[in-house]
Structure 1
Amino acid sequence: MASSCILIIFTIILSIQKYEVHSLKILGIFPYPGKSHFVMIGALMKELAQRGHQVDVVSHFPLTNPIENYTDLSIRGSRSILVNKLTYETTVEFNSLALHSVVELLGTGVCDLLYHDVFQNLIKNPQSYDVLIIEINFADCYLAFGKHLNTPIVGILTGKLDEWLYEPFGVPYNPSYTRNSHASITRERTFFERLENFVLYLFTTSKIKYYMNAEIEHVKKYFGRQLNSISDLYKDVSLVLINWHHSLDIMSAPPRIVEVAGLHVHDSGEKISPVIKSWLDESHHGFIYFSFGSMVKLESFPKNILEAFYKMFERVAPVRVLLKVADVDDMPSGLPENVKLSSWLPQIAILKHKNIKVFVTHGGMMGTQEAIVYGVPMVGIPIFRDQFINLHAYEQRKIAIVVKLDNLTADSLTDAINKILKDPTYNENVKKMSSLFFDRPSSPMDTAIYWVEYTARHGNVLQSPGSELSWWQLYFVDINLFFTICIIFIIYIIRLFFKLLSKIINIRKLNNQNSHINYKTKKNK
């Protein structure tokens, strides 16, 4: 009996030693000035610090309340922070920008920050780190820190894997079923949808890669490294955490691509103000939560759109509306009595409230995932970038209804709201999706932490062999060309054979005819 106990204790000790994780020194590099992106990123970095790792974080968003093991390397002030800054005019201008202007703004424009003292200190006085965590979002020049510091990289995307990233990460992209960021392919995948998806894939991928190569100069200037293509830096990335889950849309991915959608969704304990909480509790017919996130300034929208909102608010009464705006005083007069305004709201607490009926959203990835987690159907009004494709996917699953700004009226918006209020299918579907979203062997945060620690332990061991192949090798262009040449050659040989055979037959026929004529001539003589 004693020997059995000793054996069990010995086994437990060995198990603990096998999976023991030492405190890691981690550098996070996040130069993009969008607050919505940092919601997910900041949650991961804080959790790493709380689990005992030493974390240095380069960002525009230093902590208000410092925590142990977390050191801010702030670049705040070097760029305008995108919080309640995007007016209606700005969003229209952004959507009308040519692709190269978008890449220039979000890519080379962000790479220009490498001049900052924080980055210069990291380059000129390199420290030893166990792992780097770097956001991948057009400004991929920062991936050069991996080679410079001789440290494995964990890339992080606050959305899905964009189509131009498939090839460099060794993931074959099949436009027959994989949704392009700019296409509206349905679940039926008709011929013309697949054709559009394919053409847009070729166009966007080639253009974005071409424009992003301008960042080669940043890498050469600041790191002294010559690249043939900016895509060469992706080979230094050991692992990629993506804000996606297969319940949202299926994608094929190797082990190097890890789904951690919902990582940012946690109850931080933020409370609804007593006044608003009382108002929501008394909303016996339910309430609609209306928010366009942390970046968009709703009150800057044109008068006709705001009037359409006001008319819709009146028509859905006695259902109440909780409306998040940047500045309450900037909203037009004539606000209906069933509406309450606020410049700040704890979104998780609002979405968890028992009386919520609908979430009116612009379709950002973070907010829509929170709605799915808490089982709230949506009316989506997409404004830019990934919001169109996010909401299109949700509409197909009947957890949302999309109303586009260019044809938004009080009638179209009211119809969408009433359809969700009256049709239980939407509520049932989003609850099912919430169940699928949660059904995983471990939480998104635990998954992300495990793979960060795994990368620190083992380095770049998950890289797909496909990432070493050029595009023409990855997509069998050389093999298809070989078979095409073989088929053409075989067809040529077959045609040549039948041509020769035909000639032989014709010659024999001619000879037979000549012989017959000669025979007749001799006989007549």
Structure 2
Amino acid sequence: MGVMSEKLAPLTLCLILLTSHCDGGNILVYPVDGSHWVNMKILLVELKERGHNLTVIRSSNSWYIPEKSSLYTPVTLQMDDNMEDFFGVYLEEHMRAQREGASMLTFLKLTKHFLSMIGQAHQMWADTLIEMIENQSLMQSLRDSKYDLVLTDPAMAPGVLLAKYLNLPLVLNVRWIPSGEGHFVIAPSPLSYIPVPGSGLTDKMSFIQRVKNILFYGIILYQNRFMVGPSYEGFCSKYVDGGCDVNSLLQEADIWLFRSDFVFEFPRPTMPNVVYIGGFQCKPAQPLPADLEEFVQSAGEHGIIIMTLGTLVDALPREVADEIASAFARMPQKIIWRHKGDRPSTLGNNTLLVEWMPQKDLLGHPQTKVFVAHGGTNGVQEAIYHGVPVLGIPLFFDQFDNLLRLQERGAGKILPLVDVNSHTIEQGLKELLHQDSYRQKIKQMSSLHRDQPMAPMDQAVFWVEYVMRHKGAPHLRTEAYKLPWYSYYCLDVVAFLLTVALLLIFTFVALLWRLCCRTKRTKKNKQN
């Protein structure tokens, strides 16, 4: 082995020297708080290790983004409203409505709550952005820093608008945009086989399902036109020559670092400046802390089940938690459950409650048999990476759609919150534990995901540095966005060709008519 390493060393050195590089650049980062920051921070750590200087714009009441950090230089914006409190109320109402059961009234109530929250969040950020722009000393400081690009999560629009105002190249760390899923604003998206987020549909739809898909797309259009667009109209009309809208600015982005891939996503049209980095945060498992490893090993041949609901939800409603704990208590496996609420009254001796767990390391542990999760993007991608089947309890946002993609591929099972009880949890766990097809399917997905010429994180860093080296990537953007809708679908061409065809037919008929009339007159004259 040592001799082989010595022989490969010169080749490795040559490959490193031949690899294109980018001197340390200045990157202005405008992230979205909450779980989105978890994704952004992972990318920032890698960029920092590559020698880049990072400046992060954060709010004074940020949930997760600290003001003091060795990773970046902060720019703190003063914000009075606390979106965390508002979001917490929304989550409680959302879960309560789901427990009431599936009905049109429940759907309308949840949609109303969601649109109200989204509208309030965008208006708050739009007002903050205007205050930022009007702070002349701050803006002069940003200009003097001579940033190479803006890196932003476009789930909220201020980073996109700031890049336009500063005239800087734009790189998006993206899956979601203000009006829904990112593909719908940048790539052809036929609704006949591309499901709209929230519709609960796959890429194989019946006629009725296609009707449903179009109706859900109407909700996205409404959200964009009446909830998102008006929030930023003041900024666009005052600070951007000729005005602007969020969608057109998104279409001007140089690179889309898209947090998904086609092992997970349904096949669909895409664009050359979309780079798929799904699973970029995934890494091989590290050893567990000694006490946790001891608990895991005590499970013996039965293995362990882990459960977490992500960073936004600390606990389920009490009655739901009791039902889940009761089901766990009857399982032969050991359970590790991230739970911050009241201790469930039905908790068994086999269940360990923790306030935090090393999720990646547990998913990569050979003793882990099933992952009980809410279906957040990070958790689903980590489950794919480590090959662990998922019992999903979707709560809100994209979680049902994420879990649906696993279920459609036979790698997971969805259990709606309304159906969660001790019996359904136990039956779901037994199905995933004892039917080998689930583990085989998720292992196959893991193998496909890992079989790439370049790791997703390396792709992400390469394209960020690519934009720096070339001061943008306009050659990867299509001109299709500048076409009016009738030109995009060639309706003007169709109308022209139909007009020409009709004129030709009319001319032919007129000539034929004249010829017939002349022939009749000739015959009549001869008869006379």
- TM-score of the superposition, structure 1-length normalised? 0.82
> Which secondary structure does the structure 1 equivalent of 2:254 belong to?
strand
Per the alignment, do residues 130 and 158 of structure 1 end up closer, same or farther by CA in structure 2, a change over 3 Å counting?
same
Residue 19 of structure 1 pairs with residue 20 of structure 2:
yes
Question: Who is 1:40 aligned against?
Answer: 39
Alignment-derived partner of residue 348 in structure 2 = 336
How many residues are aligned here?
A: 490
1:129 equivalenced with 2:147 (yes/no) = yes
Matched, 1:389 2:370: no
CA distance in 2, matches of 1:383, 1:73: 33
Q: Which residue of 2 aligns with 1:417?
A: 429
Alpha carbons of structure 1 residues 444 and 210: separation in structure 2 relative to 1, 3 Å: same
Name which of 90, 93, 110 aligns with 1:89.
93
| Offset, 1:203 | 4.2
Alignment of 1:152 onto 2:169: yes
Supply the distance in 1 between the matched residues of 2:510 and 2:180 (Cα, whole angstroms): 45
- Using the alignment, how far apart are the partners of 1:44 and 1:471 within structure 2? 37
| Structure 1 partner of 2:488 | 474
Q: 1:254 is paired with a residue of what secondary structure?
A: coil
The verdict on how the C-alpha distance between 1:95 and 1:439 changes in structure 2, with shifts beyond 3 A counting, is: farther
**Cα deviations by residue, 1:271-320 (Å, 9 ceiling, x for unpaired):** 64433321111112111111101101224x152x23321332133x2122
Aligned to 2:30: 29
Q: 1:495 to 1:229 in 2, by over 3 A?
A: farther
The correspondence for 2:473, drawn from 423, 437, 460, is 460
Cα distance 1:424–1:501, how it changes in 2: closer, same or farther (>3 A)?
farther
d(CA) in 1 for partners of 2:514, 2:400: 62
From 204, 209, 219, the counterpart of 2:235: 219
Q: Is the 8 A contact 1:219 1:225 kept in 2?
A: no
2:305 alignment counterpart: 288
Give the drift of 1:95: 3.1
Return the letter of the residue paired with 1:29.
Answer: Y
Query: SS of the counterpart of 1:295?
Result: coil
Q: How much has 1:256 moved relative to structure 2?
A: 1.0
SS in 2 for 1:97: helix
Task: Using the TM superposition, give the Cα deviation of residue 224 of structure 1 relative to its aligned residue in structure 2, in angstroms.
Answer: 5.7
Runs of at least 5 residues in structure 1 that lack an aligned partner in the other structure? 1-8, 519-525
Deviation of 1:112 after TM superposition, in Å, equals 3.0
Please list, as runs of the form range in 1=range in 2, the aligned pairs for 1:103-252 lying within 5 A after superposition: 103-114=118-129, 120=135, 122-125=138-141, 126=143, 127-137=145-155, 139-158=156-175, 165-166=182-183, 168-169=185-186, 171-220=187-236, 223=239, 225=241, 227-249=243-265, 250-252=267-269
Sequence identity percentage: 24
Distance change in 2, residues 1:420/1:481 (3 Å):
farther
50 and 191 in structure 1: CA distance in 2 versus 1, 3 angstrom threshold? same
The letter for the 2-side match of 1:464 is T
Q: Separation in 1 of the partners of 2:239 and 2:366?
A: 54
Q: 1:311 to 1:401 in 2, by over 3 A?
A: same
* Paired residues for 1:436-451 under 5 Å: 436-451=448-463
Deviation at 1:382, TM superposition (A): 0.8
Change (3 A) 1:480 1:95: farther
Which amino acid in the other structure matches residue 229 of structure 2?
N
CA 1:501–1:281 in structure 2 vs 1: closer, same or farther (change >3 Å)?
A: farther
Q: Could you tell me how far apart the structure 2 residues matched to 1:457 and 1:386 are?
A: 35
Letter of the 2:478 partner, please give it. S
1:373 match: 385
In structure 2, runs of 5+ residues without a counterpart are: 1-9, 98-108
- Match for 1:333: what amino acid? S
**What is the 5 A alignment of 1:424-435?**
424-435=436-447
Deviation at 1:448, TM superposition (A): 0.6
Q: Does the CA contact (< 8 Å) of 1:167 and 1:471 recur in 2?
A: no
TM-aligned CA distance change 1:15 to 1:361, over 3 Å? closer
Further displaced range: 54-63 or 384-393: 54-63
Structure 1: distance between partners of 2:76 and 2:194: 38
Task: Measure the CA separation in 1 of the matches of 2:179 and 2:456.
Answer: 20
Please state how far the C-alpha of 1:442 moved relative to its aligned partner: 0.8
Shift in Å, 1:102: 4.3
Q: CA deviation at 1:66?
A: 3.9
Work out whether residues 25 and 148 of structure 2, in 8 Å CA contact, stay in contact via their aligned partners in 1: yes
Q: TM-score, normalised by structure 2?
A: 0.81
Letter in 1 for 2:250: Y
Query: Deviation digits for residues 78-109 of structure 1, max 9, x if unmatched?
Result: 66475995753355578342564243134223
Cα distance between partner residues in 1 of 2:465 and 2:51? 12
Q: Quick one: distance in 2 between partners of 1:76 and 1:50?
A: 30
